[in-house]
Chains A and B, each alone.
Chain A
């Protein structure tokens, strides 16, 4: 992916650029709002990481300006203002996702990749991972042809994982996307959900599909 990082704090910018390059992306960067607008209008990026507080022209204004100019690049807004209302304001201004500082690189990368997926064209009624199949119309799941009964909450969770198959999905992403719940004081909350889901889809099969990445999140994949 070609990613634009707009961040005025040089430490954070270096951290972002290094992290994203290590994850295999091509990274450009800008330090202020005006050059950010210039770059986004002249270059085609697959995604942009935009700091909320920039000198002179702030992130929200940049976002509104490029959206008004018809730029549809997915934008992840990064802000020291972590409150839910700030998130709402950011999304209203045209952001595709919102993260509060401090953030972890894994979370950021996972979210940026999720933005790509979401922009993808495929409108399919079946989601597949290896021999696991989900039929979105009949709301049924089966593995190797054997039906797996799931509770509604387990179905929603698995659907989210299947939509990002082979990619990392973090705990906060799951809480946000499945239930629109944006607080994380309860660290083990998602783990309890996942362990139940894992029992149902992986128990009794030779190859596990649901992988835990310690300290980061989960990945549903037929590859080990």
Chain B
């Protein structure tokens, strides 16, 4: 049994996913660090600038001793990273925690990156005081490290926690999907190993998987139905073809041993009749199969159904009259995109049936009507009609209703009519017309049904 994670692409998927996640995580942390560093540096620049401005005012108003005193006080209370330096105009240090004026910075600079004499990097603001003295106030870069570390650590922790939650949810989801798909695949497996009645379990809640399972089961039901239908067709086919073929062989054998020319001619003619019967049964079956599978769609065209009905009436008129019925036509002008040959055949079969089963002397109605979104081709007789079970039985291939065994016919007529209706996305309806039976090819049309196309006015 193949598990869902053992698929060939699964391992590669996880590897790619891991690389992507790690890269994204790293990029996010770097970005957070950069932003944090920048923000802290801005704050430091603001503080240092404030201090420089104050010293400039002190120098202007109170002179050098006051500035020296203020810088000394600030130096004494400075945090680890703060740097102070006051020199005279020539650059000789007066007070501060820096040994000498750094080479890399001039006077009057604003938060410039510099390298300190002890080799460390820092940022500083410089200014020239009223008496020509120079002042430098700054922060070593290392002063920002603890804060940056704290931000990165907490960000990384938060991201990691999020990843774990998302990953966990993903695994749970994956397991759920796998489990529920496995239900379907085990059903398929059971069917493949011969248990045709196997169906997927459908849970009570209406979600996508239960919907899928239900649709899946419907499809299986349909397939089973088709298979049963096919089996009954092949069984009946075997019977309906074997009978004429057996007779054929017998007739030929008799003809071979017959001495009488006339007798031989008669036997051979009978044999020919049997062979033709077998061939036409077979042709009807192929028509049925083609109509069932929809292979005839490419030869569909715009049809004038009124014309179609008139043609059928012309062909079958004499036959119906000879059997003592009266054919009544009800025709509305109607256009349908359909298969002319197959619709002719379907209507012909319905008429033939009506002519066989309706009592002599009655009327048989043949017509076409259109309504909103559908057209109906129908044949109605005033005979005994069909019971509900007979109706269901009648459209099956080879069904020949028990009480009509005296009537000839291969029993494919209604099945072909039903298949032709399905080919047109419609249905064959057998309705109790009280009295009589109405067989109706009900064919839906897209949009409002039209009469025959009129030429431009």
Give the B-binding residues of A (Cβ under 8 A): 82-85, 88, 100, 102, 104, 152-153, 175, 179-186, 188-189, 192-193, 196, 214-215
Which residue on A lies nearest to B410, using beta carbons?
A185
> Is the CB–CB distance between A215 and B315 below 8 Å?
no
Complex A-B, nearest 8 residue pairs according to Cβ-Cβ distance, in ascending order: A192-B318, A84-B341, A153-B314, A192-B319, A183-B345, A82-B283, A85-B299, A88-B299
Could you tell me if B272 and A215 are in contact, using CB atoms closer than 8 angstroms?
yes
Residue in chain B with minimal CB distance to A184: B280
Q: Which residues of B contact A85 (CB under 8 A)?
A: 290, 295-296, 298-299
Is A185 in contact with B280, judged by CB distance below 8 angstroms?
yes
Q: Which residues of B sit under 8 angstroms from A182, Cβ to Cβ?
A: 341
Is there contact, CB below 8 Å, between B318 and A196? Answer: yes
Residues 257-289 of chain B, each 1 if its beta carbon lies under 8 Å from chain A, else 0: 000000000000100110110011001101100
Which residues of B sit under 8 angstroms from A215, Cβ to Cβ?
Answer: 269, 272-273
- In the complex, the answer to whether B318 meets A181 with C-beta atoms within 8 Å is no
B96 at the interface (CB under 8 A from A): no
B317 contacts A by Cβ under 8 Å: yes
Q: Are A185 and B299 in contact (CB under 8 A)?
A: no
Give the total of B residues in contact with A, Cβ under 8 Å. Answer: 36
Contact with A along B397-418 (1 / 0, CB 8 A): 0000000000001101100000
CA distance A189 to B352 in the complex (A): 10
Query: Smallest CB–CB gap between B104 and chain A, Å?
Result: 90
Q: Are B314 and A83 within 8 A (Cβ)?
A: no
Q: In the complex, which residues of chain A have a beta carbon less than 8 angstroms from the beta carbon of B413? A: 185
In the assembled complex, the Cα of A185 lies from the Cα of B277 at a distance in Å of: 9
Question: CB of B340 within 8 A of chain A?
Answer: yes
- When the two chains form their complex, are residues A84 and B299 in contact, meaning their CB atoms are under 8 A apart? yes
| Contact (Cβ within 8 A) A193 B318 | yes
B316-331, CB < 8 A from A = 316-319, 322
Q: Which of B287, B348, B409 contacts A83 (CB 8 A)?
A: B287
**Which of B275, B276, B315, B319 has its CB near the most chain A CB atoms (within 10 A)?**
B315
Say yes or no for B342: interface residue by CB 8 A criterion: yes
State how many angstroms separate the Cβ of A105 from the closest Cβ of chain B: 11
Q: Is B177 an interface residue (CB 8 A)?
A: no
**Nearest chain B CB to A74 CB, angstrom units:** 23
B311:A181 contact, CB within 8 angstroms: yes
- Contacting residues, chain A, for B317 (C-beta < 8 A): 153
If the complex has contacts A83-B290, A85-B295, are A189 and B275 also in contact, measured as CB distance less than 8 A?
no
Minimum CB–CB distance from B325 to chain A (whole Å) comes to 13
Contact status of A175 and B315, CB under 8 A, knowing A180-B340, A182-B341: yes
Instruction: A215 to B266: give the CA distance in the assembly, Å.
Output: 12
A and B contact pairs by CB, cutoff 8 A, 28 listed: A82-B283, A83-B290, A84-B287, A84-B341, A85-B290, A85-B298, A85-B299, A88-B299, A104-B276, A153-B314, A153-B317, A175-B315, A179-B311, A180-B311, A180-B344, A183-B341, A183-B344, A185-B349, A185-B352, A185-B410, A185-B412, A186-B319, A186-B352, A188-B319, A189-B316, A193-B318, A196-B318, A215-B273
Interface pair A102/B275, CB less than 8 Å apart: yes
Q: How far is the CB of A106 from chain B (nearest CB, A)?
A: 10
Task: For B316, list chain A residues within 8 Å (CB).
Answer: 186, 189
Closest A residue to B272 by CB, please name it. Answer: A215
Is B283's CB under 8 angstroms from A189's CB?
Answer: no
Instruction: For A82, list chain B residues within 8 Å (CB).
Output: 283, 286
- Known contacts A85-B299, A88-B299: does B342 contact A186 (CB below 8 Å)? no
Specify which chain A residues have a CB less than 8 angstroms from the CB of B315 in the assembled complex.
153, 175, 179, 181, 189
When chains A and B are docked, how far (Å) is the Cα of A88 from the Cα of B339?
12
